[in-house]
Amino acid sequence: METYDVMRTTFAARDFTDDEVSDEVVYRILDNARFAPSGGNRQGGRVIIIKNPDIKRQLGHLCLPGLRVYREQIRAGESPWQSVTKTVVDVEAVAADVSIPTIIPMFDNLQEIPLVMVVAVDLNFVASMDQNLDRIGVISGGSIYPLAWNILLGARNEGLGGTLTTLIATAEPAAQELLGLKSHEAVAALLTIGKPKKQLTKLTRKSVEEFVTIDRADGQAFTG
């Protein structure tokens, strides 16, 4: 595929056919995705391909408490899981409330997803330049998400689709235990990949003019 076509059509696929993804294709995707950059080229990323259906199922279920919080924060008119203002939601109570419906069904049955990968990063090798700022960290993710996104771009190039999900981080200690990761190996993403039942081609995104300005954040919109 053309690079720009891949970039414009890699949507969040969550509904897949039963088609398996062969190890040969997975290897090819990873063998290209590995050229993603990381801070100082320290390459602290690691990928775990989950083949065991029971581990897939357990990982999906670990995402459910965080997903309930996500749902209730949307219902309360909040941007879910934002870190700037205090939530009105009782996070602990909501997380434990199994009567709250699952709004993203794939997490109930992750064992049905053809290809599940967990992307982790060893924080010993991450330059967290914003660690002394009085806000949530952002920079560390820059050393791992290019790899995760490259995997999804590669999957799209192979006629597949998938979603970068992060709810698993809300249950990181349990995920680390399940996967044999150490406490300094952060769980950055869980990727769900397969052959999408439907391929979206028109993604809803802001135009360049809506988020690009000249010289200052309050500068003139860039129109090209």
Ligand X SMILES: Cc1cc2nc3c(=O)[nH]c(=O)nc-3n(C[C@H](O)[C@H](O)[C@H](O)COP(=O)(O)O)c2cc1C
Contact residues for ligand X, defined by CB under 6 A? 11-12, 104, 163-167, 203-204
Contact assessment for residue 63 and residue 108, using Cβ atoms and an 8 Å cutoff: no
Q: Which is nearer to ligand X, 181 or 189 (CB)?
A: 189
Helical spans, DSSP H, in the chain: 3-9, 23-33, 53-75, 91-96, 145-157, 172-179, 208-211
Nearest approach, Cβ of 220 to ligand X (angstroms)?
28
Using CA atoms, how far residue 115 sits from 40, 119, 165, 197, in Å, is: 30, 13, 13, 15
Q: Which is nearer to ligand X, 38 or 163 (CB)?
A: 163
Q: Which is nearer to ligand X, 31 or 120 (CB)?
A: 120
Q: Which is nearer to ligand X, 204 or 223 (CB)?
A: 204
Contact assessment for residue 155 and residue 61, using Cβ atoms and an 8 Å cutoff: no
Nearest approach, Cβ of 189 to ligand X (angstroms)?
7
Nearest approach, Cβ of 6 to ligand X (angstroms)?
13
Among 144, 188, 171, which Cα is nearest to 36's? Answer: 144
